[in-house]
Amino acid sequence: MRYGVIGAGVLGLTAALRLVERGHQVTVLERDRLPGGLAGSFEVAPGAWLEKFYHHIFRTDRHAVALIRELGLGDDLRWHRPVTTVFVGGRARQLDSPRSVLQFDPLAVPDRLRLAAGLAWLRLLPSAGSLERATASEWLPRIMGRSAYETVWEPLLRGKFGDAAPEITMAWLWARIHCRTADLGYLRGGFARLYTTLAARLEERGGRIVYGAVVTAIRTSPDGGLTVTFGSGGAGEAGEAFDRVISTLPTGLTVRLAPDLPPDYAAAHPAPRALGAHCLVLSLDRRLTDVYWIGVNDPGLPFLAAVEHTNMVPEAEYGGRHLVYLGNYRHHDDPVFAMSKGQLVEAFTPGLRRLNPAFDPSWIRDSWSFAAPFAQPVVTTDFARSIPGFDTPLAGLYVANMFQVYPYDRGQNYSIALAERLVRHLEPGT
Ligand SMILES: Cc1cc2nc3c(=O)[nH]c(=O)nc-3n(C[C@H](O)[C@H](O)[C@H](O)COP(=O)(O)OP(=O)(O)OC[C@H]3O[C@@H](n4cnc5c(N)ncnc54)[C@H](O)[C@@H]3O)c2cc1C
């Protein structure tokens, strides 16, 4: 069978590898010049690669750990326990363990106890089923108390989902709390190594990856298969015929590429309801803070997260550079996406001074700005009903994307699991 896979993110590459292993001919078409998609990297220093958006995995990410081991990178997966905090009441306060919850002084002691009990209950609850129809904005204040809701949860939900915050399902928050660990995994040399190794394994087994291939259309071919049209910069458009095509793009974007899909399917999958992600990455000549993660719960700061990567991975691995991400989730037409690096640094400097009053822009040696327009599905209480299956009404066209990993938050682990599930669906009994 000739398979075409659109997207060389972790989902597309894993699915492609599994199909090649089952004896199929597989071509992956990827818009970018490198593999990895949302988990892709850039060369931050000569020979040193860093993800465009902050990345780590959790101990519970068993599919990701298994793939890393299978590719021979297991010895390079290092586990760290860096400090993660919430910026509230003018400073960053640790909030990553039962003990730190009990010491979290923006809340009165009874409120801390209630927060700790609520968290413990969510960690013990084996599935999200009973929480699906509850909004986090209703459930959290009722169970964990209004004070904890307003101090810890509401700013997080608002920062991540904007105006949709009141509608977010509690099932999504259950998954984030239930499945996450304080230990964070990171590959020596970055996740770029996972993607170059995965791509190399796929090619060794006979798979093909075409980089710089922007898919513009998927149409039925007269012979019954599907023809995928893609442009590759100045080289014009090319078409390639496949028996089956897997699109790893959000379903609403796949619909735009496939005009032969029936109108009712297209209407059921409009433009993806998702926020875009933006990160300004700074290379500093010194440390900004002494913690890895700062979730910003103060609307006065112009970013939602400050992640000092080199407080998890030693700066020596980056030639002594201190690397900090300043992240935001915004609607894809938000002005932040159009700002130059200079404008971003100017806009973010007051916020950086709130994290470290001594901060001066002269500490910045280099900066990079990265954006992804559809990065965070908006998981409202009716979200589950809109999730499509793998099959589409167009014979041979399948959709698999991070909108289908619900109630889990998008993550490399869940895209890998989804790819394995897709291939079992396509090739039952193999
Ligand atoms: C800010 C941020 C932080 C994150 N942090 C973590 C983390 O700490 N840990 C973790 O595990 N995960 C994290 N994630 C999530 C993780 O990156 C994703 O879940 C995962 O990479 C999704 O992989 P995917 O293959 O499903 O999709 P994608 O990576 O989106 O892959 C889709 C691919 O399709 C390509 N493509 C799109 N349109 C076309 C076209 N027309 N033609 C050809 N190719 C096309 C894209 O270039 C891309 O390579 C984070 C994501 C973001 C945005």
In this structure, what CATH number is given to the domain that contains residue 226? Answer: 3.50.50.60
Report the separation in Å between the CA atom of 354 and the middle of ligand 1, taken as the mean of its atom positions.
31
If we measure between CA atoms, which residue out of 168, 113, 172 comes closest to residue 143?
Answer: 113
Radius of gyration of the chain (CA): 22
Task: Indicate the length of the chain as a whole number.
Answer: 430
- Please identify, by atom number, the ligand 1 atom nearest to the C-alpha of residue 64: 11
**Within 13 Å, how many C-alpha atoms sit on residue 252's CB side?**
14
Q: For atom 10 of ligand 1, which residue has the closest CA?
A: 411
Determine the Cα–Cα distance for residues 161 and 52; give it in Å rounded to an integer: 21
Query: Is 9:39 a contact under the CB 8 Å cutoff?
Result: yes
Q: Are residues 142 and 156 in the same domain?
A: yes
Report the b/e string of 162-193 with b at 16+ CB within 10 A: eeebebbbbbbbbbeebbbeeebbbbebbbbb
Q: How far is the CA of 376 from the centre of ligand 1 (A)?
A: 10
Residues 395 and 349 in one domain: no
pLDDT at 136: 97
The residue whose C-alpha atom lies closest to atom 27 belonging to ligand 1 is: 9
Residue 141 tokens, joined:
């204040």
Distance 353 CA to ligand 1 centre (A): 31
Position 382 in a domain: no
Neighbours of 428 (CB within 10 A): 7
Pair (253, 329) in one structural domain:
no
Phi and psi torsions of 97, nearest 5°: -160, 160
Element (H, E) at 51: strand 48-51
Q: What is the DSSP letter of 183?
A: -
DSSP assignment string, 93-123? EE-SSHHHHHT-TTS-HHHHHHHHHHHHHHH
Q: Which of 146, 179, 212 is the last residue of a domain?
A: 179
Parallel/antiparallel/unpaired status of strands 2-6 and 226-231:
unpaired
The answer to whether the CB of 407 falls within 8 A of the CB of 169 is: yes
The CATH number linked to 362 is: 3.90.660.20
Q: Which of ligand 1's atoms lies nearest the C-alpha of 413? A: 11
What is the model's pLDDT at position 271?
Answer: 85
Q: What is the pLDDT of residue 299?
A: 92
- Cβ-based neighbours of 430, under 8 Å, separated by 6 or more: 22, 424
Amino acid in position 36: G
Residues 267 and 287 in one domain: no
CA of 87 to the centre of ligand 1 (A): 27
Beta bridge partners of 43: 49
The per-residue pLDDT string of the chain (430 residues; one tens digit each, 9 = 90 and over) reads 999 999 999 999 999 999 999 999 999 999 999 999 999 999 999 999 999 999 999 999 999 999 999 999 999 999 999 999 999 999 999 999 999 999 999 999 999 999 999 999 999 999 998 898 999 999 999 999 999 999 999 999 999 999 999 999 999 999 999 999 999 999 999 999 999 999 999 999 999 999 999 999 999 998 889 999 999 877 789 999 999 999 999 999 999 999 999 999 999 999 888 999 999 999 999 999 999 999 999 999 999 999 999 999 999 999 999 999 999 999 988 999 999 999 999 999 999 999 999 999 999 999 999 999 999 999 999 999 889 999 999 999 999 999 999 999 999 999 999 999 999 999 998 7
Q: Can you give the pLDDT at residue 199?
A: 98
User: Of 144, 179, 214, which residue constitutes the final position of a domain?
Assistant: 179
For residue 327, give the ligand 1 atom closest to its CA: 1
Helix, coil or strand: residue 306 = strand
The domain containing residue 310 runs over which residues? 184-188+274-377
For residue 85, tell me if it sits in a domain.
Answer: no
In a domain? residue 120: yes
Dist. CA 43–CA 163, nearest whole Å: 35
Place of tokens 């993110």: 9
Judge if 251 and 330 occupy the same domain: no
Ligand 1, atom 53, lies closest to the CA of: 375
Nearest residue to 281 via CA among 336, 344, 236? 344
**Do residues 342 and 281 share a domain?**
yes
Q: Read off the amino acid at residue 114.
A: R
> Is 149 in the same domain as 292?
no
Is 64 contained in some domain?
A: no
- Output the CA 36–ligand 1 centroid distance in Å: 7
Counting atoms of ligand 1 from 1, which one is nearest the CA of 11? 25
Pocket test for ligand 1, best of 13, 28, 29, 38 (most atoms within 8 A of CB): 38
Give the distance (Å) from ligand 1 centre to CA of residue 50.
Answer: 15
Q: How far is the CA of 234 from the centre of ligand 1 (A)?
A: 25
Q: Are strands 244-247 and 237-242 parallel, antiparallel or unpaired?
A: unpaired
What b/e readout covers 36-49, taking b as 16+ CB neighbours within 10 angstroms? bbbbbbeebbeebb
358 and 370 within one domain: yes
Same domain, 349 and 399: no
The answer to whether residue 246 is domain-embedded is yes
Same domain, 206 and 334: no
**Residue having the nearest C-alpha atom to atom 7 of ligand 1:** 55
Residues 171 and 149 occupy one common structural domain = yes
- Same domain, yes or no, for 251 and 280? no
Handedness of CA 133, 135, 136, 140 (dihedral sign): negative
- Domain boundary (157, 179, 201) is at 179
Task: Give bridge partners of residue 208 from the DSSP assignment.
Answer: 27
What is the distance between the alpha carbons of residues 36 and 197, in angstroms, rounded to a whole number? 11
Q: Per-residue b/e over 276-288, b at no fewer than 16 CB within 10 Å?
A: bbbbbbbbbeeeb
What is the rounded distance in angstroms from the CA atom of residue 245 to the CA atom of residue 218?
8
Tell me what pLDDT residue 178 has. Answer: 94
Residue 77 has what DSSP assignment? E
Provide the domain count of the chain.
3
Task: Return the best residue to mutate from 406, 410, 418, 422 for the ligand 1 pocket (most ligand atoms within 8 A of CB).
Answer: 410
**Does residue 88 belong to any structural domain of this protein?**
no
Atom of ligand 1 nearest to the CA of 8: 49
Point out the ligand 1 atom lying closest to the alpha carbon of residue 279.
Answer: 1
**C-alpha to C-alpha distance for 205 and 16, rounded to whole angstroms:** 10
Distance from C-alpha of 302 to C-alpha of 200, rounded to nearest angstrom: 40
The pairing of beta strand 293-296 with beta strand 305-308: antiparallel
Cα–Cα distance between 183 and 60 in angstroms, integer? 10
Residue 358 lies in a domain: yes
What's the pTM? Answer: 0.96
Ligand 1 neighbours, Cβ below 6 Å, are: 6-12, 29-32, 37-39, 53-57, 213-215, 248-249, 277, 327, 372, 375, 401-402, 410-413, 415
Residue 310 alpha carbon to ligand 1 centre in Å: 23
Distance from the alpha carbon of residue 7 to the mean position of ligand 1, in angstroms:
9
Q: Specify if 42 maps to a domain.
A: yes
